[in-house]
């Protein structure tokens, strides 16, 4: 494979990684806010349900809405935080914690559904399942994307993957690197410059001596 083809493939992979980062970032933000609002609405529904229970003495949806309002209020902020660390900070441990969190949430929903917890109202079950499955998918996808991104960081030409930019970067580094010959020449030039400064200082001392010294009889002898 030629360098041009390799750069082209790596450039496409990098663009794909950045696209995935952008999509998952907005998903974590928007979906978590929506799920959090769902939890708040659930708490309001609990209050309304308690009012109905007091008026008509019949419990309709309070257990379901209470459980999943609490679930939303706990899971949504944690998901947004873990998604932020995984997306922007490339913190893989956050991705593993996110996978564990939503796997547990999905299992909790399935167990509740098996015990007919959602017979009164199915909406909390569907909302939570969709949210957790999508979050689980995003966390897995982000872990894979981080692995590809780290591999690209170690490749020649990162982050431009452009031959012209690579040549310019190489030339710049070459200009910064001094050969042993250049180092030796600079050392000798510095030594010669210091020697000339010493000679100049000696001449100034002699001139000062001649200016202040007056001939005496001993000088005549």
Residue 19 placed within a domain? yes
Domain match, 29 and 123 both: yes
At 43-82, the pLDDT tens digits run 776 655 555 555 545 545 567 777 778 888 899 999 999 9
Q: 25-39, 138-152, 175-189 — which is least confidently predicted? A: 175-189
Domain match, 206 and 116 both: no
Domain match, 126 and 210 both: no
Domain match, 58 and 119 both: yes
The better pLDDT of the pair 106, 179 is held by 106
Provide the pLDDT for residue 6. 84
Domain match, 123 and 210 both: no
Counting the structural domains of the chain, the total is 2
Q: Does the structure show a pLDDT above 90 at 203?
A: no
Residue 169 placed within a domain? no
The better pLDDT of the pair 103, 55 is held by 103
Q: What's the whole-model pTM score? A: 0.69
Written as six digits, the tokens of 109 are: 């929903």
The better pLDDT of the pair 113, 100 is held by 100
- Mean pLDDT, range 146-174, rounded to an integer: 77
Provide the pLDDT for residue 191. 72
Domain match, 141 and 198 both: no
**Contacts of range 140-147, beta carbons closer than 8 Å, 24 or more positions apart:** 140/95, 140/99, 141/20, 141/24, 142/20, 142/21, 142/24, 142/83, 142/86, 142/87, 142/95, 143/86, 143/92, 143/95, 143/96, 145/17, 145/20, 145/21, 146/86, 146/90, 146/92, 146/95
* Residue 21, helix vs strand vs coil: helix
For the chain, the maximum distance between any two Cα atoms, rounded to a whole number of angstroms, is 137
Produce one character per residue of 47-78: b if its CB has 16 or more CB atoms within 10 Å, e if not.
eebeeeeeeeeeeebbebbbbbbebbbebbee
Residue 23 placed within a domain? yes
Determine the structural domain holding residue 203 and report its residue range.
Answer: 178-215
Domain match, 50 and 123 both: yes
Share of the chain above pLDDT 70, in %: 65
């Amino acid at each position: 494979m030629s360098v041009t083809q390799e750069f082209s493939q790596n450039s496409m992979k990098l663009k794909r990684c950045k696209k995935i980062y952008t999509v998952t970032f907005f998903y974590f933000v928007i979906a978590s806010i929506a799920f959090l609002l769902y939890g708040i609405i659930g708490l309001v529904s609990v209050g309304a349900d308690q009012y109905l229970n007091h008026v008509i003495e019949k419990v309709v949806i309070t257990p379901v809405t209470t459980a999943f309002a609490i679930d939303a209020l706990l899971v949504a902020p944690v998901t947004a935080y873990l998604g932020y660390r995984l997306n922007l900070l490339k913190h893989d441990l956050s991705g593993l914690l996110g996978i564990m969190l939503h796997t547990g949430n999905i299992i909790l929903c399935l167990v509740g559904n098996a015990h007919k917890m959602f017979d009164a109202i199915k909406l909390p079950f569907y909302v939570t399942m969709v949210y957790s499955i999508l979050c689980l998918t995003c966390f897995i996808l982000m872990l894979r994307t981080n692995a590809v991104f780290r591999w690209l960081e170690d490749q020649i030409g990162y982050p431009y993957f452009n031959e012209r930019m690579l040549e310019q970067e190489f030339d710049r580094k070459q200009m910064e690197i001094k050969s042993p010959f250049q180092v030796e020449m600079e050392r000798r030039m510095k030594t010669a410059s210091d020697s000339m400064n010493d000679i100049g200082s000696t001449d100034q001392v002699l001139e000062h001596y001649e200016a202040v010294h007056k001939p005496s009889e001993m000088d005549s002898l």
